[in-house]
Every structure is written in C-alpha cells, then in structure tokens.
Amino acid sequence: MSGLSKGIGKAEVTLKWDPSPFGAPPTDLDLVAAVYPADDPRGRPGYLVYFDSRAPDGTITLTRDSRTGQGLGTDEAMTLELERLAESYGRVVCGVAIQQREGHKTFGEVTNTLARVVEDTTELLRVDFSGAPDSTAAIICEFVRDDEGEWRFRPTFQGMDTDPAGFAELLGGDPH
C-alpha cells in the first residue's frame, strides 16, 4: 500500500425498510455502532452508539431514528467521523438489530430492507438482508485503523439470531 493512499475519513451508514402492513405491529430496525480500543479490537467495546444517541466525543452520531419505517427515503442514518476518532480506538463495527417488542421478527419478514455505507459520493456497500432471512440482527461492516493510522473499510455481512442486547455482545467477535 502506498504511503500516499488516503483512508476513510468520514462515512455515513443508512438504513431503510417498509412499514408493517396495516393492522400489524410496527417494525423497528436500529443501526448500532460498537467502538473498540486499538489494544483490544475484539474484546469489550469502549462504547456503543444506538437508539438516537451519539459517541461521547461526538465522532459518531445517529442523525435519524425511525421506529416504524414510515416516510420516504432513509429511515435511520449514522455519521462516522473516523478522522476525528481518538487514536486509542482501532475498530468500529456497524450492524442492524430488529427490536423484538411484538414477538420474534426476522429480516425475512421485513420488506424492502436496505443498508448503505457511503463515503462522500462513493457507495462502499449496499446490502438488502436477503442473505439473512432467518436473522434478527446482522453485522454489515467494520472500519479498522491500519498500521499507518488510516481507516479501512471492510464489508462483513453476517446475520445472527439474537435480541438487541445480545447483539451488542456479539459485535466484538471476528465476523470472518
């Protein structure tokens, strides 16, 4: 890799889905980001960003949070300002979890799901969750700081069947 290669400075993760059919309970999908220390990138996260929250230092912010999927365009959006993230952090894992308030719901039961990861105008990832129809949560990507201190993007789609609390614990594992 060339020393002139620039890493990812800022990215946006977005999520959309169709609302539940008329008369059915609302479907609530949530973006989640887990931020890991550089010295323990697969251990316990330093912190999580989810449910209308932001990183303690403001570098990762959930800017849009829907509980129903209603509306046009993006239902959830998260901005990651990786270039501002402290050097003590070396890995950020992004995922999606389905809230299970009204019984067990999987991605196969949610219509028109779409997650995107964009840097500036470049789409880095587009995933529709059809590869995980029996899952209730999925890791979609990770950003890892390389030896030169630059952030690199890795698509890592992996579905799993767990509740949002259990999903937060699973984010630190190796998605490969």
**Model confidence pLDDT, tens digit, residues 133-149:** 999 999 999 999 999 99
Residue 2's pLDDT is what? 40
DSSP type of residue 131: T
DSSP type of residue 2: -
Residue 1's pLDDT is what? 38
Q: What is the mean pLDDT of residues 80-100?
A: 95
With 0-12 / 13-18 / 19 or more C-beta atoms within 10 angstroms meaning exposed / middle / buried, residue 174 is exposed
CA nearest to 82, candidates 6, 172, 168, 167: 6
**Dihedral sign computed on CA atoms, order 148, 149, 153, 159:** positive
Please report which residue ranges of the chain form alpha helices under DSSP H: 164-170
Whether the per-residue pLDDT at 174 is higher than 70: the answer is no
pLDDT one-digit tens code per residue, 54-84: 888 999 998 887 777 777 778 999 999 999 9
What the block records as the tokens of 67 is: 């509980």
Q: Does the predicted model carry a pTM greater than 0.85?
A: yes
Query: Would you place residue 170 in the very low, low, confident or very high pLDDT band (cuts 50, 70, 90)?
Result: confident
